[in-house]
Amino acid sequence: MSDCCCAKSEPAPRNIAVCPISGTKGATVDLQTVKAVLTNAALRRVTAAAHRFCADPGCDVVYFADDGTTYSTRDIRVPVWQKEPAGARTVCYCFGENEADIRAEIALNGTSDAVERVKAHIKASRCACEVRNPRGTCCLGDLGAAVRQVSDSFTKPTVVSGHAHG
């Protein structure tokens, strides 16, 4: 059994196109996902065209469609992990795992069980990544990366006036 809740619903090979603003390759996102996370005003502009996700953190575009329509961070109901500054970002949209809680857990326990908690929810068939996550895919990869990044921030020495302090 896969650890990812979206593995069985993952579409066949994704079409690749580039964001008209950043030029970043975008992965196809199911229209159901797009409609679920758009604001009411943005939803009025949605068409049946294929939509793609722009993961470039420096680009305000979240979705772009084959018909030229784009949707920015202002058009999305939730903050988009890839578009937000690091620190307190939500990584798991189904169960609320976020960087601030991961940091607090690591500070208290020396480690975070966020990935294991989400895996347990996935095993119990509770996730809805294909609808709740703006990328329309499972968050486990992003969550694992977030835990590593936060954990690394505890172990890497800080540099003050050219001298390392740990």
Q: Report CA-CA distances (Å) from 100 to 8, 86, 91, 132.
A: 31, 9, 10, 20
Q: Which residues of 73-91 are buried (b: 16+ CB within 10 A; e: fewer)?
A: eebbeeebbebeeeeebbb
Torsion 27-64-99-161 (CA) sign:
positive
pLDDT at 117 over 60: yes
Q: Which two tokens stand for residue 130?
A: 């294909």
- The percentage of residues in the chain with a pLDDT greater than 70, rounded to a whole number, is 84
Which band of pLDDT confidence, cut at 50, 70 and 90, is reported for residue 154?
confident
Q: What's the rounded mean pLDDT across residues 32-37? A: 97
The CA angle 85-114-121, to the nearest 5 degrees, is: 120
For 154, residues 6+ apart whose C-beta sits below 8 A from its C-beta are 106, 107
In CATH terms, the fold of domain 11-77 is N-terminal domain of TfIIb (2.20.25)
Residue 102 pLDDT more than 70? Answer: yes
Q: Each residue of 67-89: pLDDT tens digit?
A: 999 999 999 999 999 999 999 99
User: Domain spans of the chain?
Assistant: 11-77, 79-154
| Strand-pair partners of 26 | 17
